């Protein structure tokens, strides 16, 4: 068993699959609740202080997510973790990378963070480091390719993807609701279509949506539907009921 201390901790590298050590000597954005330990003199400031706001004004252009992050600053070694998920660091060199927002754990202050055109993702631009978690190891795929929506972690140096629906597989009541309201039910019915040049980051595992978990996932998203979505859902239910009579 290895007992770690400031001397033998790795610097800007994985401690293991599930933890990453950041060698902090400046300022870095990290997601709230993902710090599991640190050595040294580090402070963590939420958005709102004058110094942090000056930094955020340049680097953070995603107001929907700004309160999910804090700024770590000072000198020390910061260990990050994310509920036992795999962690990895990605280096940007005058490039761009889009990451699922809930998986983004940190990024250096020189990287600009913006909301992606695809909801639930953040686009990072510039030169610096990005730390992200994943459900299992990450695989890198060349374009063009189609990926199950739940397996997509992100993409780099390629245009924003689009959705492709395979209606030959859209059958039954729940599948029809998914197609009409935009819910993702399985990779056989709805895929993310990547074209052009670039790289797709794919997780090893996807969210399981079968049996009762599918209905639970569907019901959990109902409060987010607007009036038009609920109207289409109601009409779909009526049509399906009439067809089954």
| pLDDT tens digits, one per residue of 11-54 | 999 999 999 999 999 889 999 999 999 999 999 988 765 666 66
Two structure tokens written together for 55: 């930094």
Kindly state the average pLDDT of the residues 177-183.
56
Q: Output the average pLDDT for the chain.
A: 82
DSSP category for residue 135:
S
Contact 25, 72 (CB under 8 A): no
More confident residue, 209 or 7: 7
What does the angle CA 139 – CA 72 – CA 64 come to, to the nearest 5 degrees?
A: 65
Two structure tokens written together for 13: 């590298």
Q: Is 24 exposed, middle or buried (0-12, 13-18, 19+ CB in 10 A)?
A: buried
Q: Which of 71-85, 95-109, 160-174, 189-203 is the least confident region?
A: 160-174
CA distance 185 to 208: 9
Q: Are strands 13-16 and 69-81 parallel, antiparallel or unpaired?
A: unpaired
Half-sphere exposure (Cβ direction) of 222: Cα atoms closer than 13 Å: 11
CA distance 77 to 37: 9
What does the angle CA 83 – CA 87 – CA 93 come to, to the nearest 5 degrees?
A: 145
Q: How confident is the model at residue 61 (pLDDT cuts 50, 70, 90)?
A: confident
CA distance 160 to 97: 11
């Amino acid at each position: 068993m290895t007992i770690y201390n400031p001397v033998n901790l790795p610097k800007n590298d994985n401690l293991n699959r599930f933890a990453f050590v950041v060698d902090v000597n400046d300022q870095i954005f990290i997601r709230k609740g993902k710090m599991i330990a640190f050595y040294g003199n580090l402070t963590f400031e939420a958005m709102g202080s004058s110094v942090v706001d000056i930094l955020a004004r340049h680097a953070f252009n995603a107001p929907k997510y700004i309160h999910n992050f804090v700024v770590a600053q000072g000198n020390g070694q910061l260990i990050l973790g994310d509920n036992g998920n795999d962690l990895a660091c990605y280096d940007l060199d005058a490039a761009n990378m889009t990451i699922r927002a809930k998986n983004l754990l940190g990024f250096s202050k020189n990287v600009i963070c913006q909301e992606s055109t695809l909801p639930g993702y953040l686009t990072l631009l510039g030169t610096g480091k990005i730390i992200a978690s994943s459900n299992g190891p990450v695989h890198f795929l060349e374009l063009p390719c189609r990926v199950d929506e739940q397996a997509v972690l992100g993409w780099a140096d390629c245009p924003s993807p689009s959705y492709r629906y395979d209606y030959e597989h859209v059958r039954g009541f729940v599948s029809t609701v998914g197609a009409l309201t935009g819910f993702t039910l399985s990779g056989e019915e709805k895929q993310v279509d990547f074209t052009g040049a670039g790289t797709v980051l794919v997780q090893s595992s996807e969210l399981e949506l079968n049996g009762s978990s599918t209905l639970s996932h569907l019901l959990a998203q109902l409060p987010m539907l607007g009036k038009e979505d609920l109207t289409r859902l109601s009409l779909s239910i009526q049509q399906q009921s009439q067809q089954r009579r």
